[in-house]
Amino acid sequence: MPAPVGLFPDSPCVCTPWGECACGHEERALRNITNRSWPHGPMTPEQREWCIGEAVWAGEGSCRREDMETMPDRDIAADTLHAWSDWVKSNTDF
């Protein structure tokens, strides 16, 4: 689900050196965090909470809220990205 408007500042894509890809706004932000190129300092409690909610929902049981609450920002961002890709894999037929 989309994050509330303004939860994450816009950030460049880190998938390609030329900065072009198909990532949406939230995915770009999370990839910047896992890549240590997040230019905006630590994640806010609101950003962490949104990610945990996404990972718990998309992870379908593989991400536990109580484990994630104590994780560093990078791990939260990485687990959220993994949960999204797992969700896509288990909910598509091609």
Q: Which is nearer to Zn ion, 7 or 13 (CB)?
A: 13
Which one of 20-28, 39-47, 63-71, 86-94 is the stretch in contact with Zn ion (CB under 5 A)? 20-28
Q: Which is nearer to Zn ion, 34 or 56 (CB)?
A: 34
Does the footprint of Zn ion cover residue 21 (CB under 5 A)? yes
Does the footprint of Zn ion cover residue 13 (CB under 5 A)? yes
Looking at residue 3, the DSSP 8-state letter turns out to be P
Q: What are phi and psi of 71, to 5 degrees?
A: -80, 150
Q: What whole-number distance in Å separates Cα of residue 70 and Cα of residue 64?
A: 11
Q: What whole-number distance in Å separates Cα of residue 57 and Cα of residue 54?
A: 5
The residue assigned the tokens 């995915």 is 27
Which one of 8-16, 32-40, 43-51, 60-68 is the stretch in contact with Zn ion (CB under 5 A)? 8-16
* Contacts with Zn ion, residue ranges (CB under 5 A): 13, 15, 21, 23
